[in-house]
């Protein structure tokens, strides 16, 4: 077991007996290795603007999908002299991986993706920043996250599903407990500056969600334009377009030689191909203990 005094501050992370992939741990939460205490502190001090819109989710819950909807609706631009390939996320940059100083060059309104918990988000009491939050059922999140972690170069892990599901249930995955994360945002669902959506609802009726998102960010779409956006943001359309997923950053984030596709399946119910009866019983017990009585629940099969 590595002790606190020997934890590296270089952003390379460390492994322990408890968590056998490279990670950092800040304020009790597991993060990807580059998320050092200093980096998280810098993100918390980020200077927001009144027009900023943050696109938020727990990892593997539909962030990339929502970001593409924003691209099709709002047509955000890159900073002058900067190409989309230079910054992960391009016109909708990923907050945790981009140099905060680079975000100064983005024209307003800025649309920024993040997986940060509510309590760690930068805030300025004078700025009514907007938040688009998408939540996905935790069984499918767990499966998608498992595949993602196995190909990430920086965490250096290729463990089994049985090992991984223990991490997920105990909150020892990047960004910590799924339940802590979504409940932190769910508590603010009535805030007029937060639009809380479910991945499964978007799968069932993308068109109505496109219209809802457009209205929330102050964009007026005709019915024809809304239909165009919905078609462009279907899973099949996005998977076929190399510019709409993180595979274009393959050399930066995947293990060398990986053939993994970021747009893997995008379905509801893939969890049933992974959970054993015993794992599902333990998982469902946790689900009930954390979400019962909160008013939030999920569909697990399409």
Burial profile 265-292: b = 16 or more Cβ within 10 angstroms, e = fewer: ebebbbbeebbeeebbeebeebbeebbe
Q: Going residue by residue through the chain (302 aa), what tens digit of pLDDT does each one get?
A: 333 333 334 558 899 999 999 999 999 999 999 999 999 999 999 999 999 999 999 999 999 899 999 999 999 999 998 888 888 899 999 999 998 888 999 999 999 999 999 999 998 766 789 999 999 999 999 999 999 999 988 899 999 999 999 999 999 999 999 999 999 999 999 999 999 999 999 999 999 999 999 999 999 999 999 999 999 998 777 766 666 655 665 566 776 665 555 555 657 888 999 999 999 999 999 999 999 999 999 999 85
C-alpha distances (whole Å) from 272 to each of 5, 127, 299 are 42, 43, 13
Map residue 169 onto helix, strand or coil: helix
Judge whether 210 and 70 are in contact, CB under 8 Å.
Answer: no
**Is residue 196 in a domain?**
yes
Nearest to 50 by CA among 151, 124, 141: 124
**Is residue 301 in a domain?**
no
Q: Which secondary structure element, helix H or strand E, spans residue 237, and what is its range? A: helix 235-240
Distance, in Å, from the CA atom of 134 to the CA atom of 60, rounded to the nearest integer, reads 10
Catalytic member of 115, 147, 181, 209:
115
Query: Residue 233 phi/psi, 5° resolution?
Result: -105, 15
Q: Which residues contact 159 (CB under 8 A, 6 or more apart)?
A: 20, 21, 150
pLDDT at site 187: 97
**Is residue 214 in a domain?**
yes
Strands 53-56 and 130-135: parallel
**Is residue 72 in a domain?**
yes
Q: Is the peptide bond before 157 cis (omega within 30 degrees of 0)?
A: no
Distance, in Å, from the CA atom of 43 to the CA atom of 228, rounded to the nearest integer, reads 35
In this structure, what CATH number is given to the domain that contains residue 104? 3.40.50.300
pLDDT at site 142: 96
Distance, in Å, from the CA atom of 253 to the CA atom of 251, rounded to the nearest integer, reads 6
pLDDT at site 123: 82
pLDDT at site 124: 74
pLDDT at site 7: 35
Look up the pTM and report it: 0.89
Residues spanned by the domain of 171: 4-291
**Is residue 147 in a domain?**
yes
Q: Which residues contact 14 (CB under 8 A, 6 or more apart)?
A: 2, 7, 8, 22, 23, 24, 33
**Is residue 296 in a domain?**
no
The per-type count for the chain, helices as H runs and strands as E runs, is 12, 6
pLDDT at site 5: 32
Q: Is 115 a catalytic residue?
A: yes
**Is residue 300 in a domain?**
no
C-alpha distances (whole Å) from 51 to each of 175, 188, 212, 251, 259 are 26, 19, 18, 33, 38
| Structure token pair of residue 121 | 């988000």
Q: How far is CA 11 from the centre of its chain?
A: 20
**Is residue 81 in a domain?**
yes
Domains: count for the chain: 1
């Amino acid at each position: 077991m590595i002790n606190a005094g020997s934890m590296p501050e270089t952003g390379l992370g460390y492994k322990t007996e408890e968590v056998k992939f490279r990670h950092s741990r800040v304020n009790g939460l597991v993060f990807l290795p580059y998320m050092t205490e200093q980096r998280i502190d810098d993100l918390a001090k980020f200077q927001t603007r009144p027009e900023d819109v943050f696109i938020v989710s727990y990892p593997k819950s539909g962030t990339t999908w929502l970001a593409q909807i924003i691209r099709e609706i709002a047509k955000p631009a890159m900073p002058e002299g900067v190409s989309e390939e230079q910054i992960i996320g391009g016109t909708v940059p990923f907050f945790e991986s981009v140099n905060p100083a680079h975000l100064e060059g983005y024209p307003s309104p800025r649309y920024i993706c993040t997986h940060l918990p509510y309590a760690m988000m930068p805030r300025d009491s004078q700025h009514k920043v907007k938040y688009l939050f998408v939540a996905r059922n935790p069984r499918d999140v767990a499966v998608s996250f498992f595949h993602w972690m196995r190909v990430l170069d920086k965490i250096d892990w290729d463990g089994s599903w049985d090992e991984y599901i223990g991490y997920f249930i105990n909150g020892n995955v990047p960004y910590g407990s799924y339940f802590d994360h979504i409940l932190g945002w769910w508590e603010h669902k009535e805030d007029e500056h937060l639009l809380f959506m479910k991945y499964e609802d978007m799968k069932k009726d993308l068109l109505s969600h496109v219209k809802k998102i457009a209205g929330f960010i102050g964009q007026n779409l005709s019915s024809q334009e809304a239909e165009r956006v919905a078609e462009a943001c279907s899973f099949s359309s996005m998977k076929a377009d190399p510019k709409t997923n993180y595979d274009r950053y393959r050399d930066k984030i995947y293990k060398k030689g990986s053939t993994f596709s970021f747009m893997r399946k995008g379905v509801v119910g893939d969890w049933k191909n992974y959970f054993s009866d015993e794992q599902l019983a333990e998982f469902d017990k946790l689900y009930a203990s954390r979400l019962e009585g909160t008013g939030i629940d999920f569909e697990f099969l399409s």
